[in-house]
Amino acid sequence: MRLDKYLADMGAGTRSEIKKMIRDRRVTVNGNPALKADMKVFPEDLVKLDDEVITYSEYEYYLLYKPSGYYSTVDYSPNVTELLVNARKDVMPVGRLDKDTEGLILLTNDGTLAHRLLSPKNHVEKTYYAKTEPDIPEDAAEKFAEPMRFEDFTSLPAKFERISSDEGYLTVHEGKYHQVKRMFHAVGADVIHLKRTRFGFLTLGDLEPGQYRTLQEEEIAKLKELSGTKENR
Ligand code: URA
């Protein structure tokens, strides 16, 4: 692979910034200053920028605590990818959260996995904390547990765990547009605060809004298992 592509993929800068870095002798390959942007590098080569080792990773996987106020589409700003430091530029959010929704969102450039995690066939469970106005009716749990019919989909039975008169956790299997807000609205309570706390087996843990971590190998393997992604694609 060309050195400038290697560095650009790893988020070191734009192609023209990288060319300048190379001209300024800031990039070394196996200890020698790189002289040309188009020089070829191989997996066993040691590439450094200002003494920082730049390891090439084809796929990257992040778990981010999306703060409210950020878009989960890259077409608008501020968006969740802007919170990642040094991530590959092709890392994208897996699915959407509304701008005013906070909580767990995965980001990756592994398009196959992202696609499968979002596939309705896979029914990956997602749990949301919701605060509503007015209160959540007494019979909400029974209503959520039945299929609810909307214009564009019918929900699979969802599990509701009440916290208080106006707060609870709802676990759904789909990821339809405004799904949770629409489900609460349908039982007579409007969501005023929404936070995704769980995606499959993944939770936010100790992360604060705006913080993220990379997924561990076992977690990636488990996600692939959950989504039916085969290793040899
Ligand atoms: N359901 C919603 O209504 N909004 C979200 O952001 C996610 C699920």
CATH number at residue 218: 3.30.70.580
Distance, in Å, from the CA atom of 1 to the CA atom of 22, rounded to the nearest integer, reads 16
The string of pLDDT tens digits covering residues 169-219 is 999 999 999 999 999 999 999 999 999 999 999 999 999 999 999 999 999
**How many CB atoms neighbour CB 126 within 10 A?**
23
Model confidence band, residue 232 (pLDDT cutoffs 50, 70, 90) = very low
CATH of the domain at 167: 3.30.70.1560
Buried b (16+ CB within 10 A) or exposed e, 103-113: bbbbbbbbeeb
Q: Are residues 48 and 76 in the same domain?
A: no
The reported pLDDT for the residue numbered 229 is 64
Structure tokens at 191: 């969501």
Sign of CA dihedral 197, 199, 200, 205: negative
Residue 232 inside a domain? The answer is no
The owner of tokens 């936010």 is 204
Model confidence band, residue 233 (pLDDT cutoffs 50, 70, 90) = very low
User: Which ligand 1 atom is at minimum distance from the Cα of 178?
Assistant: 3
Distance 172 CA to ligand 1 centre (A): 10
Domain span at residue 164 reads: 125-199
Q: Are residues 115 and 215 in the same domain?
A: yes
Residue 145 inside a domain? The answer is yes
Distance 128 CA to ligand 1 centre (A): 8
Regarding the beta carbon of 178 and ligand 1, being less than 6 Å apart is answered yes
Q: Are residues 109 and 223 in the same domain?
A: yes
Residue 142 inside a domain? The answer is yes
Provide the domain count of the chain.
Answer: 3
Q: Are residues 137 and 189 in the same domain?
A: yes
CATH of the domain at 28: 3.10.290.10
Query: Is 98 one of the annotated active-site residues of the chain?
Result: yes
The string of pLDDT tens digits covering residues 80-136 is 999 999 888 899 999 999 999 999 999 999 999 999 999 888 889 999 999 999 999
Residue 233 inside a domain? The answer is no
Sign of CA dihedral 131, 137, 142, 144: negative
Identify whether the C-beta of residue 179 lies closer than 8 Å to the C-beta of residue 155: yes
Closest CA to 97 of 106, 89, 88: 106
Give percent above pLDDT 90 in the chain.
88
Can you state the angle between helices 217-227 and 111-118, rounded to 10 degrees?
50
Omega before residue 33 within 30° of 0, cis: no
What is the pTM (predicted TM-score) of this model?
0.85
